[in-house]
Amino acid sequence: MSIENALPLEGLVLPQDCTVTMFGNTFFRNGQHVYINADFGLGRAAQKLGVGGYYTVRKVSNTIESGRFETSLELIRLFGSYR
């Protein structure tokens, strides 16, 4: 109960790790921190769901094929990064 009362949200929410796939680039490295603005797609529900905020890049992978360059990031939610 003490943990739940200390959170700025309305209940205990588990951190949500995620995977992001985007047009290929070489900007990201393992261990970097990135911010995901989930309010853009989910509005106020993002905060209540505990989605978005700061993440640590766990793994970066690039796919290069004929006519295709894609980068995927596996992200781990930083503890306490709720807005």
Q: Spell out the domain ranges in the chain.
A: 23-83
Predicted TM-score (pTM) of this structure: 0.70
pLDDT in tens, 38-73: 877 777 777 777 778 889 999 999 999 999 999 999
Measured over the CA atoms of residue 48, residue 53, residue 58 and residue 61, the dihedral's sign is positive
Neighbours of 53 (CB within 10 A): 20
What is the spatial distance between Cα 68 and Cα 10, in angstroms, rounded to a whole number? Answer: 43
Confidence of residue 13 (pLDDT cuts 50, 70, 90): low
What is the spatial distance between Cα 5 and Cα 72, in angstroms, rounded to a whole number? Answer: 36
Confidence of residue 5 (pLDDT cuts 50, 70, 90): low
Q: What is the β-pairing status of strands 68-77 and 33-36? A: unpaired
